[in-house]
């Protein structure tokens, strides 16, 4: 995985885990990779993955079954959407709105670009 410099690595790994859940690659009640497995896959220190898993536990996205491992919660998808929506609305959307305003981009143009993006990337 290529990490960006502008965000903590454990948060980027959390985004990776969440995306796998949202895309249906990792299902509810299924075991997620162990801390060591994901650390090897991501090429990071296991402590970094543990920090990611602690964050995801606090957000009720995964839970730890002692002695067995970490599992995706039943309502992980809803929890992820709430968590990511809050981040998007607070951190990212104001930047988008600022650029829309400064560049004088109309909402009709944004809507067209959005539909094209969805069609090309998600076959919807």
Q: What is the mean pLDDT of residues 108-124?
A: 91
- The CATH number of the domain holding residue 52 is 1.10.10.10
Is there a single domain that holds both residue 23 and residue 47? Answer: yes
**pLDDT, tens only, 19-63:** 999 999 999 999 999 999 999 999 999 999 999 999 999 999 999
What pLDDT does residue 122 have?
84
Q: Is residue 69 part of a domain?
A: yes
**pLDDT, tens only, 65-97:** 999 999 999 999 999 999 999 999 999 999 999
| DSSP per-residue letters across the chain | -PPPTTS-HHHHHHHHHHHHHHTTSS-TTPBPPPHHHHHHHHTS-HHHHHHHHHHHHHTTSEEEETTTEEEE-TTHHHHHHHHHHHHIIIIIHHHHHHHHHHTT--HHHHHHHHHHHHHHHH--
pTM score > 0.85 for this model? Answer: no
């Amino acid at each position: 995985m290529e990490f960006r410099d502008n965000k903590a690595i454990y948060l980027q790994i959390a985004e990776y885990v969440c995306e796998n859940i949202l895309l249906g690659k990792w299902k509810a009640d299924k075991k997620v990779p162990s801390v060591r497995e994901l650390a090897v896959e991501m090429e990071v220190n296991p402590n970094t993955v543990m920090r990611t898993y602690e964050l995801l536990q606090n957000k009720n996205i995964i839970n730890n079954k002692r002695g067995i491992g970490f599992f995706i919660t039943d309502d992980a998808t809803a929890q992820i959407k709430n968590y990511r929506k809050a981040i998007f609305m607070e951190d990212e959307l104001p930047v988008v709105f600022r650029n829309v305003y400064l560049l004088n981009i109309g909402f009709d143009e944004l809507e067209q670009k959005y539909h094209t993006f969805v069609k090309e990337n998600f076959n919807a």
